[in-house]
């Protein structure tokens, strides 16, 4: 005889729900505290400052560019790691995950030290005298790409892992070549994971702070982005403006989470 309902009672569910409720109240309370501390005056003060608009636009531009390149690299990289086993596969798979587990400040330090080598100096200052990466907007894009691509590869690879390779074999049996199979069969089936990878990559690098501060600094009108704006505003005592930027980042992050879940990406959250 099959039971339609669990054998345990409601008290068991309530007991297990208590930690969840406490954590939800904590997150909701912390988030709500930011919005309650904002006044109309602080909003006007923030958005009357041209530097704030510059930091918002630079954040959105660099994050979008970095996400685009992350996805462009993650699609072929995720496919190769998913479909093939080659010498050094485990090493490659581990290196891809390294930016995920490595403290962001350490990653920024690695980038900074690389550009102090002979090769790094040539890449940074051999083409443009004032530099391409160090204390430049391209440095922001580079750091964001390094971190975001790791998340995109992991999510997109999981999409390829969950896909039955027999679909690709069947398409090639019917006369499609490898490129046609990849374009017409593989990519459409992996579309949800690709979109999820893009959204998670965007959301992860949007709030990146430590490594960007090391590599690009935070020069107003040049390399200042929203996370570093919060740092600057707090350091000069304009807490109200920092709260406005923080609230805006919260709203943007929530919007990206909603987009991700609408795309069916709940299982891809890391």
Taking only the tens place, the pLDDT of each residue in 2-51 is: 555 555 567 888 888 999 999 999 999 999 999 999 999 999 999 998 99
Looking at residue 172, its pLDDT comes to 85
DSSP secondary structure string for all residues of 144-175: HHHHHHHHHHHHHHHHHHTS-THHHHHHHHTT
**CATH class of the region 40-268:** mainly alpha
Cα-based distances in Å from 59 to 37, 71, 105: 24, 18, 19
pTM for the full predicted model: 0.87
Q: Torsion-angle region of residue 237: left (phi > 0), alpha (psi -120 to 50) or beta? A: left
Distance, CA of 163 to chain centre: 24
pLDDT digits (tens, 9 = 90+) for 173-227: 888 888 888 888 899 988 888 988 998 899 899 999 989 999 998 888 889 999 9
Looking at residue 184, its pLDDT comes to 87
Q: What confidence category does residue 168 fall into, taking pLDDT thresholds of 50, 70 and 90? A: confident
């Amino acid at each position: 005889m099959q039971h339609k309902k669990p054998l345990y009672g409601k008290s068991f569910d309530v007991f297990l729900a208590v930690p969840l409720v406490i954590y939800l109240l904590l997150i909701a309370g912390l988030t709500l505290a930011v919005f309650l501390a904002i006044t109309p005056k602080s909003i006007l003060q923030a958005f009357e400052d041209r530097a704030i608009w510059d930091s918002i636009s630079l954040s959105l531009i660099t994050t979008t560019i970095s996400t685009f390149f992350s996805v462009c690299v993650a699609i072929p990289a995720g496919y190769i790691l998913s479909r093939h086993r080659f010498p050094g596969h485990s090493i490659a798979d581990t290196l891809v995950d390294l930016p995920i587990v490595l403290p962001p400040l350490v990653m920024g330090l690695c980038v900074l030290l690389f550009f102090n080598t002979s090769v790094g100096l040539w890449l940074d200052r051999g083409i443009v005298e004032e530099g391409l990466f160090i204390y430049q907007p391209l440095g922001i894009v580079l750091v964001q790409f390094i971190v975001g691509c790791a998340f995109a590869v992991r999510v997109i690879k999981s999409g390829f892992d969950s896909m039955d390779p027999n679909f690709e074999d069947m398409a090639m049996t019917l006369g499609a070549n490898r490129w046609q199979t990849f374009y017409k069969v593989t990519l459409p089936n992996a579309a949800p994971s690709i979109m999820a990878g893009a959204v998670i990559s965007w959301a992860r690098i949007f709030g990146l702070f430590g490594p960007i501060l090391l590599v690009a600094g935070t020069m107003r009108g040049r390399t200042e982005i929203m996370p570093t704006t919060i740092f600057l505003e707090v350091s000069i005592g304009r807490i109200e403006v920092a709260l406005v930027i923080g609230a805006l980042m919260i709203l943007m992050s929530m919007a990206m989470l909603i987009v991700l879940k609408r795309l069916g990406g709940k299982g891809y959250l890391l």
